[in-house]
Chain A
């Protein structure tokens, strides 16, 4: 069975009915359970569970301590190109946005790598826009080979590839794949992805599966929160992960909770998710999967990031630039999205220590 087929079984789930019949006693019982099923997880995402965030937080903290101890990994994203063939309503890279696009040459990539390496960062996420024409696999592969001389772990966050292409990049030095479904609701997906290769909902949905088959060591999935009811989106993210986990138990899994951030000229109508609900979502996920990584990016503010660290966060980005060439070239102002936490790596490292955690820079080879 593929991911799409697996997730279909939840398509008729009556969220309203389950949420309205959830009681205080249900939530307390679920928090005390050792192993949660999908129904438990859904109830933790219910409005009722909002009254038990402290209880959930205490359990989440214990779960995280058992599996990860007091350590948080730092990483930085590296944007090497922003050419894109998609028209996605929520993204600054959309083909409809007119701005000077950039693609780093290999010398510039090395300069950026050196600049990031100097901050102490050893794990990076390599990003491009979705343009096979301007940034083909051969270009990305060469970039990976250069970056491998500077970094211990390279995760790619690029357009969806075939299994063979993933295997090719793994052989070049990639160990992780980040790919968000953006929105699990198929209709909404269709409505916000107006054109381009990304319009293919199913091809994107099976990408993590293909990556795992190709031999990825870690997979990071997530839904872009703000395009649909967050409770449904996080529920399906959880089921997506559950499916992958059973198929590929050797993979290290991570989940991100990207809240939609504005970009210059954004038109999409967003459904806000409050800080309280985002915390609820993170806690529910931590209780459902005690052993997965939780990734919080600079889409979130300093205040928010500092306070969620003890709730089960295992990795956090720092010193982030979301523009192409942002670390060393400084000629480019167009960001994919506006970041909310501008702290440098050194500042972030200090914040992690202050929260009682050990900042980790290297956790791969």
Chain B
């Protein structure tokens, strides 16, 4: 299967995972292994370099690419500040922009996200913006130099499958940089579905972290993402809504 290229790096896996919401930090290490993921996101607000035991980085293998996120930012200025902090803390120059100004639905603020992306790209960051699936925003993010776009699959916590399917499909069709479906992927079947749709990758956190067995669930997601990708490459058969008619309307053209 073709490698996944993101931010100038090659990855074998198209599954990105998260570090939040696990019952124990030790569980994260196991889940990472079973997921075979190469990229892991972590909330910078959780990173404590002063404590070895509490430092989440101690539980992540060195060869994984860190994708710190700006969770907690309410506007572009705060997101930029967090990105700078992340770099200063030694978390690298990759940053997932998460600007949330509504704690009820936890929907991203596309306008502020775009602002932050423009500035951080110029400063040399590899920027992965988390957005509501809006095509125009996605296009502007491409122009701004984003490394990928990360439209949400469903509002966080909704656990009702992929609710943004049509809008995400439009982005997948029209955007030439990697499209990573983030948030709302509640089950491996959701992940398989968006991969079949042609998404380049998916990010899964809660569904793995809050499973009874995170380790096994990570494996299930790994397989689902692989299956979805293979299905996409193999081109699914067309699903026709119409039965083949016995009296075709255009039959006269052949007579």
Contact B209 A249 (CB under 8 A): no
Contact A249 B104 (CB under 8 A): yes
Instruction: Using known A-B contacts A249-B101, A360-B46, determine if residue A67 contacts B157 with beta carbons closer than 8 Å.
Output: yes
Contact A120 B157 (CB under 8 A): no
Is A69's beta carbon under 8 Å from chain B? yes
Residues of A within 8 A of B159 (CB): 66
Binding site for B on A (CB under 8 A): 63, 65-71, 120, 122, 152, 217, 245, 249-253, 290-291, 353, 356-358, 360-365
Interface size bracket, B side = 20 to 34
Residues of B within 8 A of A357 (CB): 23
Contact A250 B102 (CB under 8 A): yes
- Using CB atoms, name the residue of chain A closest to B44: A365
Contact B210 A365 (CB under 8 A): no
Residues of A within 8 A of B101 (CB): 249-250
Instruction: Using known A-B contacts A122-B48, A364-B45, A364-B72, determine if residue A69 contacts B22 with beta carbons closer than 8 Å.
Output: yes
Q: How far is the CA of A70 from the CA of B212 in the complex (A)?
A: 11
Residues of A within 8 A of B233 (CB): none
Instruction: Using known A-B contacts A122-B48, A217-B72, A250-B103, determine if residue A361 contacts B24 with beta carbons closer than 8 Å.
Output: no
Contact B45 A245 (CB under 8 A): no
Q: How far is the CA of A362 from the CA of B71 in the complex (A)?
A: 13
- Using CB atoms, name the residue of chain A closest to B71: A363
Residues of A within 8 A of B135 (CB): none
- Using CB atoms, name the residue of chain A closest to B106: A291
Is B145's beta carbon under 8 Å from chain A? no
Contact of A361 among B20, B54, B100, B103 (CB under 8 A): B54
Instruction: Using known A-B contacts A120-B51, A217-B72, A365-B85, determine if residue A69 contacts B102 with beta carbons closer than 8 Å.
Output: no
User: Which of A249, A253, A356 is packed against the most chain B CB atoms within 10 Å?
Assistant: A249
Binding site for A on B (CB under 8 A): 20-25, 43-48, 51, 54, 72, 74, 82, 85, 100-104, 106, 156-157, 159, 206, 209-210
Q: How far is the CA of A70 from the CA of B102 in the complex (A)?
A: 22
Contact of A291 among B43, B47, B157 (CB under 8 A): B157
Contact of A353 among B24, B72, B103 (CB under 8 A): B24
Seed contacts A71-B22, A120-B54, A249-B101; 18 additional CB < 8 Å A-B pairs = A65-B21, A66-B210, A67-B156, A67-B157, A69-B21, A69-B206, A70-B22, A70-B210, A250-B100, A250-B102, A250-B103, A291-B106, A356-B23, A361-B48, A363-B46, A365-B72, A365-B82, A365-B85
Instruction: Using known A-B contacts A362-B46, A362-B47, determine if residue A251 contacts B103 with beta carbons closer than 8 Å.
Output: yes
Contact B48 A358 (CB under 8 A): no
Contact of A365 among B45, B51, B157 (CB under 8 A): B45
Contact B210 A69 (CB under 8 A): yes
Residues of B within 8 A of A353 (CB): 24
User: Which label, helix, strand, loop or mixed, suits the secondary structure of the A interface?
Assistant: loop
Residues of B within 8 A of A361 (CB): 48, 51, 54
21 of the cross-chain contacts (CB-CB < 8 Å) are A63-B157, A65-B21, A66-B159, A120-B51, A122-B48, A217-B74, A245-B104, A249-B101, A249-B103, A250-B100, A291-B104, A353-B24, A356-B23, A358-B22, A358-B24, A358-B25, A361-B51, A361-B54, A362-B48, A362-B54, A365-B85
Residues of A within 8 A of B85 (CB): 365
Q: How far is the CA of A248 from the CA of B13 in the complex (A)?
A: 40
A93–chain B nearest beta-carbon distance, Å:
33
- Using CB atoms, name the residue of chain A closest to B28: A358
Contact A363 B45 (CB under 8 A): yes
User: Which of B25, B46, B82, B103 is packed against the most chain A CB atoms within 10 Å?
Assistant: B103
Q: How far is the CA of A249 from the CA of B104 in the complex (A)?
A: 7
- Using CB atoms, name the residue of chain B closest to A251: B103
Contact of A250 among B21, B43, B45, B74 (CB under 8 A): B74
Q: How far is the CA of A358 from the CA of B23 in the complex (A)?
A: 5
Contact of B103 among A69, A291, A365 (CB under 8 A): A291
Q: How far is the CA of A164 from the CA of B148 in the complex (A)?
A: 41
B203–chain A nearest beta-carbon distance, Å:
15
- Using CB atoms, name the residue of chain B closest to A361: B54
Q: How far is the CA of A357 from the CA of B20 in the complex (A)?
A: 12
Residues of A within 8 A of B106 (CB): 291
